Structure 1
Amino acid sequence: MKRILFPVLAAGVLLLGGCSSKQYFEPEQTYSINGAQSSYEGKIVDKSRDGATLDNGHYIGKSGISTLVLPKGFHFLSENRTYVLAANESGDLQVINKKSGKSIRTVSLHIPVVSAAIRNGFVAYILNNNAFGLYSISKGKKIVENRSERTYAIDNRAASPLFIDSLVVMPMLDGKLVIFDVNDPENAKVVYLSSDKVFNNIIYLSRMGDTLVAATPKKLLTLGAEGEYEYRVNIAEVSLSGNAIYLFSKEGEIIKLNVLLEEKAKKKFKFAQFSEATALKEKVAALDIKGSLIVLNKALSKYKIYDIGEVDSPVYIAGNKLYKDGTIIRLDKLDYK
């Protein structure tokens, strides 16, 4: 019996060991990024939906690396043309004037801020206890603050609030959108994306014309004049370009959808795990955690893969630039042919 049992157990151990080993995306051919890179100082230590904070106090916004230095202990949240929003772990939210570099207002919220946005003198924010609020800079006070349902765990890719004319759309941590008018904040509309209790927060929120585009880690939703549509998949990233929605799945798929969430094109890269991705005017780009930067045409029918080194620390894409480990990679200079 022992002579039979040992080989069986050994085979079982080998089988289990083989199943537990993680598989990675391994392209047959890759290219170098010669001529498409430059360097920057600092290391990314924190990311928000609208930017990244460097260890030297500067931040990366939509226009690139700032000259402004954030106060010690604060990380970047969002910005507009005039102001920067930054917060610390104690729940202090600062409104910083870009020109002077000085804080014009510090709002003590007492709970860490997950995301925030600023427009027309109003700051919309979401706290990590799933409370949301609207603060008036001119009045120096909260216009409204309410708490939604309790959440037990969230995905760290938290979407920022969205201003649409006088409306504010709050991407909550419990999988719903709270929509209200700044002139009547108590009269809110709620749109539910999902009711899961964990890892269910809104990770993406934007608009295509008059259509809202939102996502949780497992569902994409569009809401507009054409109606409400949903698409279910494990989501790594979402990006809009023109009249198309590009969805990057955790299964290595890149999917092109229209506003009705109908598939127009799809390409799968087996075992790819996207750490960052975007859709630009002329191309689509996705970075695998092992350092394969995949650049495709908008139809997803042609692609070229570049080796930029394993992703060991946070990376961020702003416009057509990818920031990684002190290197700026110009995505617009990389071809897919």
Structure 2
Amino acid sequence: MKKLNLILLGSLVFIGCSSKNFEPKTFINKKLPQKERNSYLQDYTKNTLTFKELKLKYTTTSFFDDGIRGEWVYFDEEGNKLEKFVKVNKDLAKRGDKLLLIKEKKVVKMPYLIASATKKNNLIALVFENNSIGIYDLNKDKIVFYKQYPNVLAAKYLKSSPLFYDNLILFPLLNSKVAIYDLTNNKFLRDIDLADDNIINNIIFMKIVDNSLFISTPSRLILFNPNFLVNYNADIKHIIDYNGYLYLFLINGKIVKLDTKLKKIKEIKLPFADFFAPSVCNGNIYTIANKYLIKITPDLNVTVYGGNDFDLDSPLNIKNCKIYNSNKVYFIE
């Protein structure tokens, strides 16, 4: 009985801790200018926004039918119509197994549901939801390379996209691996396995910063260099690269500044902060935690602003000094 009571007490303590929210000791009341729009933020990636707006159209089916119908229309930040597609990057939008080439206004059907994609010239590098990869050649109108990997049940956080790197394509898989394809010799080279202690996660960050390749899962950031390889282990939720530094937003409320050798420059902690969509605006990084707007300077000095009613149950993204949240736009500066 005593053992059971201890277990119950431990469970209550865990529940109590896990339900705590970020509450700053001090904050500045700053109500951001905002604007309500007819469009709603439907979806987003790290670099793109997809909006939807209800449009009326008229199609009569009988004498008694007034013909009024409501239809959601999708479009991007620039106003480009996306039909029912969600924007992946500046070139592409996806919907199930279909890929929209935005500038060309051309739809290409793929064999499987699309997780992420990147276009360069006539080639489209794809990662599919079944954890397979492929290369589609627009000149030949067909897939010229395909490789299947073991399926995975789920993927955490935002997926990274394939990367064209010199004469290589790097495919960020959904099971902690990166597949490498050689474009010069048109052949698959190898896999890089980033799994840590048998924990399988997808790749959340893959980018060239200061001529070095960085790849990260939610538990591990790796610097690949011709002369050395460096690991940085942490529970990572977001990574921002800015002015030659990497800023890691961790699950435990920490923000860590690293140089491009993954040497820690500084670290701060905001207890219980669950960071939303960090983004750079006018030389500072902004993020949201528990309805507070947080401004972070490059030296990790923090200012917290209150007074804004962000809806954290709806899609929320920060881009170009604007916070998009449901049908509202907040202007940071």
Change (3 A) 1:120 1:92: same
CA distance in 2, matches of 1:107, 1:269: 46
The within-5 A match list for 1:99-138 is 102-103=105-106, 105-109=107-111, 111-138=112-139
CA distance in 2, matches of 1:208, 1:19: 39
Matched, 1:71 2:73: no
TM normalised by structure 2 equals: 0.83
Change (3 A) 1:280 1:182: farther
Find the residue that maps to 1:201 and give its secondary structure: coil
Change (3 A) 1:11 1:155: closer
Shift of 1:144: 0.8
Matched, 1:49 2:46: yes
Check the 8 A contact 2:253/2:275 in 1, yes or no. Answer: yes
- Aligned match of 1:305: 305
- Aligned match of 1:292: 292
Q: Which moved more, 1:192-201 or 1:246-255?
A: 192-201
Choose the corresponding residue for 2:15, options 12, 15, 20.
20
CA distance in 2, matches of 1:85, 1:302: 36
Shift of 1:12: 8.1
Check the 8 A contact 1:58/1:66 in 2, yes or no. Answer: no
Q: Which moved more, 1:38-47 or 1:199-208?
A: 38-47
- Aligned match of 2:195: 194
Find the residue that maps to 1:20 and give its secondary structure: helix
What stretches of structure 2 of length at least 5 have no aligned partner?
A: 54-72
CA distance in 1, matches of 2:225, 2:282: 23
Change (3 A) 1:193 1:319: farther
Check the 8 A contact 1:153/1:199 in 2, yes or no. Answer: no
Check the 8 A contact 2:196/2:219 in 1, yes or no. Answer: no
Choose the corresponding residue for 1:97, options 103, 108, 117.
103
Check the 8 A contact 1:152/1:197 in 2, yes or no. Answer: no
Find the residue that maps to 1:194 and give its secondary structure: coil
What stretches of structure 1 of length at least 5 have no aligned partner?
A: none
Let me know the Cα RMSD of the aligned residues: 2.7
Shift of 1:273: 0.6
TM normalised by structure 1 equals: 0.82
Change (3 A) 1:93 1:264: same
Q: What amino acid does structure 1 have at the position aligned with 2:159?
A: A
Q: What amino acid does structure 2 have at the position aligned with 1:305?
A: Y
Find the residue that maps to 1:78 and give its secondary structure: coil
Check the 8 A contact 1:154/1:198 in 2, yes or no. Answer: no
Measured against aligned partners, the alpha-carbon deviations of 1:157-177 in whole angstroms (never above 9, x if no partner) come to: 110111224321111111111
The within-5 A match list for 1:81-92 is 84-89=91-96, 91-92=97-98
Check the 8 A contact 2:75/2:83 in 1, yes or no. Answer: no
Measured against aligned partners, the alpha-carbon deviations of 1:146-194 in whole angstroms (never above 9, x if no partner) come to: 1123323211411011122432111111111122233333132322211
The total of aligned residue pairs comes to: 311
